[in-house]
Amino acid sequence: MLDPAILKNDIESLELNLERRNLDVDLKELTALDELRRELRFEAEKLRSEQKTLGKQIASADEKTKNELLDQASQMSEKVKELFEKVDVADKNFMDIWIKIPNLISTTSPDGISDKENSEIKKFGEIRNINNPKDHLEIAESLGLIDVQKASEVSGSRFSYLFGDLVKIEFNLVLWAMQQLSDKGFKPTIPPVLVRENALYGTGFFPDDAEQVYEIPNDDLYLVGTSEVPLAALHSNEILDTATLPIRYAGFSTCFRREAGTYGKDTTGIFRVHQFDKVEMFSFCDPEKSEEEHKFILSVEEELLQALEIPYRVVDVCAGDLGSSASKKYDIEAWIPSQQTYREVTSCSNTTDFQARRLNIRGKADGETNVLHTLNGTAIAVGRILIALIENNQTEDGKVEFSDSVAEIIGVKNLS
């Protein structure tokens, strides 16, 4: 959520932002709603103040004047109640719209409407020349390492069974990533994957992306699509000592996504599934330093991919392709031989104060409090890393062979 003060102080930035996001919002109406609620509140508070004074008089009044005052106070009470009801309505009218206003886009993010306008800022790694590259499913299925058919019988489409060495690789990857991150000051964390709706509102997934989230209606809980949600909410309603920042977490969790509206997209294998495991980085940091922190998180992502010898490129995500909470986002896309293109394997966002304001996360230094910045980034999205590892290291006879240094990380030299 943005600071509503922007309506008064810097409406031009807001206008520009909505334009870049290709959104049409009536700012005049919003400003009017904001002014109305302020006005009403001012009036209501004034009256409330009078009511309190009157109430105090009653306490010390003699019997005679007391009845008179009580009469007066009774009427006053009615009025105050009515006025505050109006204030509540005005607040709600404003907030219903305001909560949907997305974060301010960084001036450094490229313009554009869709991912086609994302700008490539770096390429790394050598793309091996593979004759007739097979896709990961074909390879893994034939080696008995993945079964999506049986999974779709049991659970539906976009689920999978992983077997044998792929399981071993997953656990090794996760443990390795945790170790790397821990060395860099990220506290290893296993957060809850079921959360209340508050955490989803706070992180900006609700109300806009609610259709992507699995719901447990009996218990009013939701399955998270990323550990970003419980990690961000970890410090909600807290005031952190600025001297302790940045506070970094490395969260491991299974992630659940409904993938509504993606029918027909990426239907092969485990690229886009309803359930996958992920190690996620999350940072609470000083607003002054969030750009720096963002670059740091990106550099960690690159480091991990480089160690795994996966060719990739980094893209600066354009305005129209940013989620509502992100101010700036870098995606890393790994080379996928079967598709002869780069596909997203990690993503890191600077959400500036957007989530922190909603979650009420503040910092305090020298008696001053301010809303913090939060950032998140993928360390290892297991499924997609497995795909990149399998496809980029496939051999001509449909097997997989890893380099010694990669094998050392993942604990497996060959898939055959």
Partner RNA sequence: GGAGGGAUGGCCGAGCGGACGAAGGCGAUAGUCUUGAAAACUAUUGUAUGUAUUCCAUACCGUGGGUUCGAAUCCCACUCCCUCCGCCA
Give the residue numbers marked as catalytic: 257, 272, 344, 347, 384
Q: Which of 273, 270, 230 is nearest to 253 (CA)?
A: 230
* Residues in contact with RNA by the rule CB under 7 A: 4-5, 38-39, 41-43, 45-46, 48-49, 51-52, 54-56, 58-60, 70, 73-74, 76-77, 80, 239, 362, 364, 367, 369
Instruction: Give the total residue count for the chain.
Output: 416
- What's the CA gap between 168 and 147, in Å, rounded? 16
Give the up-direction half-sphere exposure of residue 149: CA atoms within 13 A in the CB hemisphere: 7
Determine the 3-state secondary structure of 413 from DSSP: coil
Task: Report the nearest approach of RNA to the CB of residue 314 (Å).
Answer: 36
Residue 70 CB, nearest distance to RNA (Å)?
5
- The minimum distance between CB 221 and RNA, in angstroms, equals 10
In 184-278, which ranges are continuous DSSP H helix? 197-203, 228-233
Closer Cβ to RNA, 111 or 288, answer by number: 288
Do β-strands 247-256 and 186-189 pair in parallel, antiparallel, or remain unpaired?
parallel
Closer to RNA at the Cβ: 15 or 39? Answer: 39
| Shorter beta-carbon distance to RNA: residue 109 or 189 | 189
Nearest distance in Å: CB 191, RNA: 15
93, with CB counted inside 10 A (0-12, 13-18, 19+), is middle
Peptide bond into 246 cis (omega under 30): yes
At residue 366, φ and ψ (nearest 5 deg) are: 50, 40
The nearest distance, CB 209 to RNA, in angstroms, is 24
How far is residue 385's CA from residue 365's CA, in Å, rounded to a whole number?
A: 41
Phi, psi of 387 (to 5 degrees): -60, -50
Q: In terms of CB distance, is 44 or 410 closer to RNA? A: 44
